[in-house]
Amino acid sequence: MRARLVLLAVVLVMLVLPFQFGTSALTTATFVVIAAIGATGLNVLTGYAGQISLGHAFFLAAGAYTGAKLGEDLGWSAALWIPAAGVVAGVCGALVGPIALRLSGLYLAIVTLGLVFIGQHVFFNAESLTGGPQGRTFPPVVIGPFDFSAGQVLRLGGLQIDSNGLYYYLALALLAGATAFAWNLRRTRTGRAMVAVREREIAASVMGVDVRRVKIAAFTASAFMAGVSGALYASYLSFAQPGEWSLLLSIQFVAAVIVGGMGTVAGPLLGSAVVFALPTLLKNLPFLPEEAAGGVSVSDLSSIAYGLLIVAFLVLQPRGLVGLVNQPKEAHS
The CA distances from residue 178 to 70, 86, 266, 283, in Å, are 23, 12, 12, 31
- Interaction of residue 314 with other proteins, rule CB under 8 A: yes
- Interaction of residue 132 with other proteins, rule CB under 8 A: yes
Quick one: which of 87, 94, 143, 161 contacts other proteins (CB under 8 A)? 161
- Interaction of residue 299 with other proteins, rule CB under 8 A: yes
Q: Which stretch binds other proteins (CB under 8 A): 58-66, 75-83, 171-179, 253-261?
A: 253-261
Contacts (CB under 8 A) with other proteins, residues 63-92? none
Do residues 53 and 112 make contact, with C-beta atoms less than 8 angstroms apart? yes
Q: Which stretch binds other proteins (CB under 8 A): 32-40, 151-159, 189-197, 214-222?
A: 151-159
Burial (CB < 10 A; 0-12, 13-18, 19+), residue 134, is: exposed
Do residues 312 and 265 make contact, with C-beta atoms less than 8 angstroms apart? no
Distance CA 247, CA 273 (A): 20
- Interaction of residue 200 with other proteins, rule CB under 8 A: yes
- Interaction of residue 282 with other proteins, rule CB under 8 A: no
Quick one: which of 94, 122, 282, 324 contacts other proteins (CB under 8 A)? 122
Quick one: which of 73, 75, 117, 180 contacts other proteins (CB under 8 A)? 117
In the shown chain, the binding pattern of residues 168 to 197 toward other proteins, with x for contact by CB under 8 A and - for none, equals x-----------------------------
* Shortest separation between residue 16's beta carbon and other proteins, angstroms: 5
Contacts (CB under 8 A) with other proteins, residues 221-250? 237-241, 243-244, 247-248
Quick one: which of 77, 190, 303, 317 contacts other proteins (CB under 8 A)? 303
CA geometry: angle 61, 65, 68, nearest 5 deg: 145
Q: Which stretch binds other proteins (CB under 8 A): 61-69, 83-91, 210-218, 297-305?
A: 297-305
- Interaction of residue 147 with other proteins, rule CB under 8 A: no
Distance CA 148, CA 166 (A): 6
Phi, psi dihedrals of residue 11, rounded to the nearest 5°: -60, -45
Do residues 138 and 129 make contact, with C-beta atoms less than 8 angstroms apart? no
